[in-house]
Amino acid sequence: MTTYITTPIFYVNAEPHLGHAYSTIVADTYARFKRLCGDDVRFQTGTDEHGDKIVQAAENAGESPKEYVDRISTMFSGTWPHLDIEPDNFIRTTDSDHKQNVQTILQKVYEQGDIYFSEYEGLYCKGCEQFLTEKELVDGKCADHLTEPEKIREQNYFFKMSKYQEWLVDHIKSNPEFITPERYKNEMLSFLSEPLQDLCISRPTSRLTWGIPLPFDDRFVTYVWFDALINYLTGLVYPNDQKFDTYWPAAEHVIAKDILKPHAIFWPTMLKAMGVEPYKKLHVHGYWNINDTKMSKSLGNVVRPKEMVEEYGVDAVRYFLLRDMSFGLDSSYNSEAVIARQNSDLANDLGNLFSRSLTMVGKFEGGKVPESGPMEDIDQGMQDACAKMLVTYSEEMNQFRFSRALQAVWEVISRANKYIVKNAPWELAKDDTKQERIHTVFYTLLETLRILQVVVSPIMPATAQKMAKGLGVSTVSTLADGKWGGLKPGTPISKPEQLFPRLEKKKSAAPVKVKKDKKKQKAKGEKLEGIITFEEFGKVKLKVAEIVAAERIKKSDRLLKLSVKAPEERTIVAGIAEYYSPEELVGRQVIIVANLKPAKLMGVPSEGMVLAAKDGERLVLASLSDTVALGSRVA
């Protein structure tokens, strides 16, 4: 099978931001996923460099258009490697082969009579670089740019788009997956229920010179869409190259809803006029807003991909964007949401599973993949869950439902974490007759991790690489490697590298103040020491919490740093390192004093205390006889 996946080519009137990064991460992830499926994949992105807006931006920057477009285009191509985005082709509309290609196509369509010269008066939106109909305006303004379009009357060349309206409606209706998600298909069908206007494709050189001259009339240049959309063909060296024959039938475009009409209407009709088959699929996503507000330079809330990567790391950014946006709908970005995902899904769930499994294999299995003994129901359950996840994952990834694909993966991660707690290998290790059982448990865990490494690789390539290294397997894998049983007993397992650091919340919660009543205590005298009133006890907030991460504190034999959820997250430093290893704590419910004044121990801030009973030499954590909701008050 073959896949050709593209992003929009981005205007160089602005530097790369979160929105551009999202579309490009989506395309990169899909390209990697399709490679995993064994496809021959080509992934293309690039920059759109002609038009009024670019000339204006160059003037504002005090540069010539050429200097300006070279500089900004390099910013785009230079940003993608920071996000582990690896396109096969980066196209620029100022490349000479592209300009020539556009001219050849224009000439052909002109000669066959689908381009004509006429006078036109219409409402032109500079932001969209297109004429809008009255119906598309909201309160007389462009809905996207919130500006009033200008009334423009001039002679221009037009593409006979209306001629292909009926064909297009039929094509959309008979190919249900041509435009997805469905809401956008419906939007276009509704737009097509009215007569389609022809498309103005030129600008007089008196008004714009920064464009591609029409081959049949050099007083005009072609403007944005006839130039830009053709990039998808130029990148395949249309029409005479093997690449075109191989990849064009498999073309899938990723765009946001802002450029739906040019892609769903102009482009297929242009292709039809050129005698080229329409692309296979159009995938339309929503908008990223910032804290629920539109991202804009004037509001100063533009998020730059490179800064995100510096702050959170590339894989946390890729994961967050794909997990938090339901493809097709708008989503809101804020740093708290990224930190929450990083700490809970990545550091706690995946990171802990990986590190404690490998650490225990080091301790209990001599650092090698063990030979599995007979499987019990619980092990078979883990294997079946992996197989089921692979099916769901593939379906969802193929449909661009990345968030759902990741949810399916995380169900397995959560099951694997529970599998550790239920099997308690540290307890089995105390019993000589349970050695075979330990082998089965660790084989099951390592196999699960290996399969997880395969499925996370399109989304988080760097993390997959670290996991593969730890598991002693190769990173070049295919989805078929997701089948159970790939790990060879005896393979050495490395000491685990930390996959994700835990990030501190930006604002820490204000400490809860509990007033001390020293005077009263003194007055009651020696005999009453330790006695407290009901009200005083009521001031102590005991809550149920789950330990989600645990690690030793350097230079201390006694202290462990625990991350607990109650259900809000907090850090507690507990003096239990001599009695409990970090691996056996994760996943346990404990009782904490939730309103203890925060303190620092060995430089680590601690927000509470874990209850435990001291019994001679032993120290045993207080727990409940059943699992309860996190944050439940203990009274």
User: Which pairing describes strands 115-125 and 150-159: parallel, antiparallel, or unpaired?
Assistant: antiparallel
CA distances from 607 to 9, 508, 509, 571, 572 (A): 49, 10, 10, 6, 5
Closest distance of CB 99 from ligand MSP, Å: 15
Q: From the CB of 17, what's the least distance to ligand MSP, in Å? A: 7
The token pair that represents 596 in the structure block? 């203890």
Sign, CA dihedral 390-391-394-400, equals negative
User: Between residues 83 and 445, which has the closer beta carbon with respect to ligand MSP?
Assistant: 83
Would you tell me how many other CB atoms lie within 10 Å of the CB of residue 206?
Answer: 9
Which tokens is 441 given?
A: 């448990």
Residues paired with residue 122 on neighbouring β-strands, in sequence order: 152
CB atoms under 10 Å from CB of 632, counted, come to 16
Q: Closer to ligand MSP by CB, 290 or 464: give it.
A: 290
Indicate the residue among 25 and 479 with the shorter CB distance to ligand MSP.
25
d(CA 421, CA 443): 16
d(CA 46, CA 16): 12
- Please provide residue 562's backbone torsions phi and psi, each rounded to the nearest 5 degrees: -110, 135
What residues line the site for ligand MSP (CB under 6 A)? 8-11, 19-20, 22-23, 48, 228-229, 231, 255-256, 258-259, 287-288, 295
Cα separation, 457 vs 482, whole angstroms: 12
Query: 447 and 485 in contact (C-beta within 8 Å)?
Result: yes
Residue identified by tokens 């300006």 is 68
Closest CB to ligand MSP among residues 37, 302: 302
Find the shortest distance in angstroms from Cβ 632 to ligand MSP: 40
Tokens in use for 122? 């219409």
Query: In this structure, what token pair is assigned to residue 605?
Result: 């801030």
Q: Which tokens belong to 133? A: 């109909």
> How many CB atoms are closer than 10 A to CB 7?
23
Least Å from the CB of residue 250 to ligand MSP: 18
> Judged by CB, which is closer to ligand MSP: 10, or 327?
10
Instruction: Tell me the residue nearest to ligand MSP as measured from the CB.
Output: 19
Angle, nearest 10°, between helix axes 314-324 and 305-312? 110
DSSP lists the bridge partners of residue 199 as 159
- Which active-site residues does the annotation give? 17, 20, 125, 128, 142, 145, 294, 297
What minimum distance in Å lies between the beta carbon of 369 and ligand MSP? 43
> If we measure between CA atoms, which residue out of 238, 254, 240 comes closest to residue 184?
254
Let me know how long the chain is: 635
Q: Whole-angstrom Cα distance, residue 499 to residue 497?
A: 6
Compute the least distance from the CB of residue 131 to ligand MSP, in Å.
16
Shortest Cβ 332–ligand MSP spacing (Å): 11
| Closest to ligand MSP by CB, 75 or 596 | 75
Q: Which is nearer to ligand MSP, 236 or 420 (CB)?
A: 236
